[in-house]
A = this chain, B = another copy of it.
Amino acid sequence: MTTITPPRMTPTAHRILDTAAGLFYEHGLRAVGVERIAEEADTTKKTIYDRFGSKDGLITAYLRQRCDRWHEYATAYVEEHHPEPGTGRVLAVLDALASWMAVNSRGCGFVNAYAELAGTGHDGLPIIAEEKIWTRDYYIGLLTELDIPDAERRGREVALVHEGAIVQLTAGAQPEAMADARALVGRLVAEGVSARDAAEGTVG
């Protein structure tokens, strides 16, 4: 029986993961060797393999951490800037993204990882899909809060714009992409609100 042991996050393991996360995002997964991670984390390859088992294990831990951090960042941003119910909460997610992208100027770390992992059976692939689905469902939830009809479909549409903005901003070298996305999502939300009010007028 082979049981997969999750990495025991000792202080050095934390340092390793943070260092690896920075290098993986900034240069790509295959472009960064384990030896370089050890050097920059001021530790040894031995310790890395003791804690994470393999480079693939470290990559998986990186994606898991990045996934969790984005979720926390986005929700914290929305709750801080728009705690009260309203359409502003939806746009706040895009503002969170803009703020996130200001520091992460190399595009979406998950899309970038997908570029190197797709086709392999890597354990990180489900995490990549999870992040995309989480963001989509976050939009859906915020639209549902507003009692907007077809919140699922509209949430998926907003998520499309969200992902497209990242691509156009980075790979497409189009600085106006985020502003365009914000304007478009604003119109989509307004469209949903109008549909809701029209339906309420009919039903109630």
Contacts and interface: CB of A to CB of B under 8 A. Distances in A.
A153 B27 CA distance: 33
Contact of A172 (B26, B132, B170, B180): B132
A133 interface: yes
Contacts of A113: 115
A67 interface: no
Nearest to A159: B168
Nearest to A114: B171
Given A111-B115, A172-B132, A180 B167 contact: no
B116 A107 contact: no
Nearest to A171: B114
Interface in A92-135: 106-108, 110-116, 118-119, 128-129, 132-133
B132 A174 contact: yes
Contacts of A159: 164, 168
Interface of A: 26-28, 30-31, 106-108, 110-116, 118-119, 128-129, 132-133, 136, 153, 156-157, 159-168, 170-174, 176-177, 180-181, 183-184
Per CB-CB distance, the 6 closest pairs between chain A and chain B, nearest first, are: A132-B172, A164-B164, A160-B164, A112-B115, A115-B115, A163-B164
